[in-house]
Structure 1
Amino acid sequence: MKKKMISFASLGLVCATFFLSCETKNQAEEEQLETALETPAKIISNTQAATLFQNDQNTRLSQIGKENTSFKDKAIHFDLAILESYISRLESIKTAKNIPVTGVSFVFGADANGNRTMFLMPATRNTELDYQESFTIENGQFLTFKHVDITLKPQISSQNDENLVLSPNGYLSFNEATALFNNYQTQYIQPVAKKVTKDYYTKAVWYSFEEIKGYINYLKKKSVDHNLAITGVNVFFGVYNNDLSLELKSNAQTIFLTASSQQQSIINIKGETLQGFTQDGFFAKDSNESIDGSLNFNEGHLSPPPPLPEDCQNKTCWHPWH
């Protein structure tokens, strides 16, 4: 009888151990699944972000005599709460005015002193030219912001009554945004074009509402989970590698986003800074580094697209970054 009792007890211990093991395994799998679901698809590794940053310095700024641009001047800051409110407002306008707003474009600009900047505009799809076109509304007038144009013409009268163009320093009118856009053409694209031969030069990067909202929510969650006090998003210019496998993105200008905490650009949940990461030379690491814990966001859709090939003039072709 004792032997039977011992056997039953042993069996119970084995079962308990088995179920505990199963529970632990399932819990681990659930945690992995939760992590995968909460990480936006366009999160990139620290190495990838640092490489984009270094490429911009080496292939753009250094080529046009602006290699001494300070790190502070490279970080284009947007307050997280203001950015979130702006996205929400654009979605409301989409419904209220029945405009097919597809997302938001980070449009490139340069101020009167030649410093690069960025401003945000709502975008809608231009089906004729096959790209995401920015726009604003002033005095009830719908005004497009064509990135395919070399320069834009200011309006006779312009004021930001709808507040649809968001800069790091507040809202802009169409004419103010136009001045920044045109300055970028003369200060950065024209000098680069003499050094870097391209079929097109990026002037804006587009994200869908789902993408940008997912990134904001991701930062907010990481801020709480890891006590990071993230209060903003810093936008940096970057350049893709000169790699033929990237096709039309090869050596193309882009941007990447990362978190801002206590006036620092932090790139992961450990609180490491982008400035420290790049100065230490870690950008030379294997580009397959894990994205676990990364706070960097990229893979935006470049605008404008290059001219369509001859066999694509019938609009049946599709650009890979759209």
Structure 2
Amino acid sequence: MKKKMISFASLGLVCATFFLSCESNNQAAEEQLDVALETPEKIISNAQAATLFNNDQQTRLSQIGKENTRFKDKAIHFDLATLETYINRLENLASRNIPITGASFVFGVDANGKRTAFLMPSTRNADLDYQESFTIENGQFLTFKHVDPSLKLQNNSQNDENLVLSENGYLSFNEAVVMFNNYQTQYIQPFAKKVTKDYYTKAVWYSLDEFKGYFNYLKKKSDKYKLAITGIDVFFGVYNNDSSLELKSNAQTVFLAASTQQQTIVNVKGKSLQRLSQEDFFAKNDEEEVDGSLAFNLGHLSPPPPRG
């Protein structure tokens, strides 16, 4: 009888161990799924962020005599709470049948000659098949055509809707036009004299859901790793000159990185972009790096290349 009881007890221990093992495996699988779901699709590795940053220095700034641009002048800083409020406002407008598909970082140059980018709501231009920026002023729907080499000022322009967000606050249509036109004359034209391309990027588009997903991702990582993320820094980057990238080959873009009060950080270890861009980053470009990365890229470039 004792032997039978011992056998049943042994069986119970085996079963308990089996079920605990199953439960542990399921929990591990669920945790992996949670990580996969909470990581935005467009998160890029630390190495990719550093490559984009360095490519911009080597293939753009150095080409047009601006190779001495300081690191702090390359960062376009946005407060995270301000960005969240802005995207929520666009979402509310979209719910009122205003055809907002997302927002674009439109390229510009400020009054001090610093290259920058400002945010504008976008709608799909069905004729040209691209995301076209717009704003609303004095009750008018004003398009901001990236396909044009320069834009015309309005006779009367005032910032009455707060739809164009720069790093220094909201802009009127005319203020945005001046900055956009300055980018054409100070950055595109000098580069075009050296490198002929079918088109030159003037804006990068993300959907509203992509913005919100990235904000949530940063807040979760900030809480988990005690990173004190307070903002997002936007940097100009350039894709590799690789034919497999097709239209993105050697194309200008922007990428986003987390920002604390002190510096731009690119991973959960708090490593700074400035330090990473100066190191030998090419050896590290694996999936693990993407999991811990805080950089965001792969937006839609605009304008589209001309149709044949």
Check whether TM > 0.5.
yes
2:84 alignment partner AA: E
1:211-222, aligned counterparts within 5 Å? 211-222=210-221
Instruction: Give the equivalent residue in structure 2 for 1:319.
Output: none
CA-to-partner distance for each residue in 1:66-91, whole Å, 9 max, x for gaps? 11111101110000000000011111
- Measured in 2, the distance between the counterparts of 1:213 and 1:257 equals 13
**CA–CA distance in structure 2, aligned partners of residues 110 and 267 of structure 1:** 25
Letter in 2 for 1:285: A
Shift of 1:16: 1.2
SS for the counterpart of 2:194 is: coil
Cα RMSD (Å): 1.0
Letter in 2 for 1:28: A
In the TM superposition, residue 56 of structure 1 has moved relative to its aligned partner by 0.4
Determine the C-alpha separation between the residues in 1 that align with 2:202 and 2:262: 27
Distance 2:95 2:26 in 1: 42
Q: Find the aligned partners of 1:231 and 1:113 in 2 and give their Cα distance.
A: 26
Residues 189-220 of structure 1 show CA distances to partners (whole Å, capped at 9, x for unaligned) of 00111122210000000001111111111111
Contact 1:47 1:289 in 2 (8 A): no
Amino acid at match of 1:142: F
Q: Distance in 1 between matches of 2:101 and 2:272?
A: 32
Cα-to-partner distance string for 1:139-161 (whole Å, 9 max, x where unaligned):
11111100000011111111100
1:313 alignment partner in structure 2: none
TM-score, structure 1 as length reference: 0.93
CA distance in 2, matches of 1:253, 1:184: 13
Aligned to 2:41, the other structure's residue is in SS state: coil
The unaligned stretches of length 5 or more in structure 1 are 310-322
- 107-116 vs 200-209, greater mean Cα deviation: 107-116
The equivalent of 1:318 in structure 2 is none
Paired residue secondary structure (2:95): helix
Match of 1:131 in 2: 130
Instruction: Name the counterpart of 1:115.
Output: 114
Rounded to whole Å, the distance in 1 between the matches of 2:85 and 2:5 is 67
Q: Which residue of the partner structure matches residue 177 of structure 1?
A: 176
CA contact (8 A) 1:112 1:183 kept: no
Structure 2 distance, partners of 1:195, 1:17, is 69
User: What is the CA distance between 1:288 and its match in structure 2?
Assistant: 4.1
Task: Quote the residue 2:150 is aligned against.
Answer: 151
Query: Displaced runs of 4+ in structure 1, greater than 2 A?
Result: 285-290
Q: CA deviation at 1:94?
A: 2.0
> Equivalents in 2 of 1:178, 1:104: separation in Å?
17
Identity %: 77
- Paired residue total: 307
Q: Secondary structure in 2 aligned to 1:5? A: helix
Q: Write the mapping of 1:255-294 to structure 2, written as runs, cut at 5 A.
A: 255-282=254-281, 284-290=282-288, 291-294=290-293
Q: Which residue identity is paired with 1:245?
A: S
Amino acid of the structure 1 residue aligned with 2:112 = N
Structure 2 stretches of 5 or more lacking a match? none
TM-score (norm 2): 0.97
Corresponding residue number in structure 2 for 1:105? 104
Deviation string, structure 1 residues 90-129 (Cα, Å, up to 9, x no partner) = 1112233x21110000000011232101100000011111
User: Could you tell me how far apart the structure 2 residues matched to 1:60 and 1:220 are?
Assistant: 33
